[in-house]
Amino acid sequence: MRAALTALTDELRRLKAIGVKSVSVTDESIAILRRVVADRKSAAKPLAPIAEPAPSVQARGYELPVPAASPKPPAPVVAPIATMPPPPKLTMPEGDRQTRWNALLAMVNGDVTCRSRLRPGKKVVLGVGSLEAQIMFVGEAPGAEEEIQGEPFVGPAGQLLTKMILGMGLKRTEVYIGNIMNWRPDLPTAPGATQIGNRPPTEEEMRYCLPYLRAQIEIVNPALIVALGKTAAEGLLGFGAVKTLGEARGRWHEFAGKPMMVTYHPSYILREPTNRKKRMIWEDLLMVMERAALPISERQRGYFLDK
């Protein structure tokens, strides 16, 4: 456990050094970390002398203490995130949408780079939904549930996304849901243990996976794209193109020749489920509904207006 905790600390420091501001952590992981921290407190010997304020992990509204930094951080005990080969050049077959999508699924499942990033028993994730969808939602990367099921947005954030889609008067099966990433970005985890938390994908990782997303856009040919969260928006619009999500959301951008709305990621609401935040996403989705010529009732227009 001590080795795993040291590895986690090293990785958090490394991520902080490359500009990663937060990683999300599941409730289960929080419970495990709390136990570790409690065990450490009761142990006779601390892991390392406290020399500077500990970095923190933000997780669904929790602030988790992370073991304090020593004056000279020890050499990382985990390999850094492997550098990526150049993005794959995909040659799509002729045929109808289903034929091409099936071929793409076979390509991503056979991609050795994607496969090499998976933990044992976990799955590569491609998009899901109607291949004739008018609206395509694009998120960041699979999380714990998604890499088990091999389907995007099936965990807590996905359940909220499904509710948002229902609120728009659509079924989940009537839209298309994808991610920039086809695998869950790794964090150091002891062999056989469950990965604790998620980290945002690096620029290189997203660049590697982008051809798969572009191919899905080409196959589905949606009228509109909705980018969920800053990472997805940056992955699509270019790094450095999105200074703050507050400034990028609620207006139309363009990706792959399609109008693209940027809005908050559903996990933003999960962290603080206030009507004010729900309304912000909802106003963006009302713009999407208007542009997609979906019917909008007075009731829908008024969602989440109550404080």
> What residues line the site for ligand URA (CB under 6 A)?
139-143, 146, 152-153, 155, 157-158, 179
Whole-Å CA distances, 4 to 17, 67, 69, 120, 197? 20, 12, 15, 18, 13
CB 15 within 8 Å of CB 199: yes
Instruction: Name the residue nearer to ligand URA (CB basis): 158 or 222.
Output: 158
- Whose Cβ is closer to ligand URA: residue 15's or residue 180's? 180
**Residue nearest to ligand URA according to CB distances in the complex:** 139
Q: Which is nearer to ligand URA, 127 or 222 (CB)?
A: 127
Closest distance to ligand URA from the beta carbon of 170 (Å): 18
Task: CB nearer to ligand URA: give 99 or 173.
Answer: 173
- Cα angle 146, 255, 304 (rounded to 5 degrees) comes to 65
Please, is 83 exposed, middle or buried when counting C-beta atoms within 10 Å of its C-beta (0-12, 13-18, 19+)? exposed
Q: Are 164 and 285 in contact (CB under 8 A)?
A: yes
Largest Cα–Cα separation, the chain? 67
Q: 24 pairs with which residues across the strands?
A: 198
The nearest distance, CB 147 to ligand URA, in angstroms, is: 9
Nearer to ligand URA, 141 or 213 (CB): 141
Least separation in angstroms between residue 142's CB and ligand URA is: 5
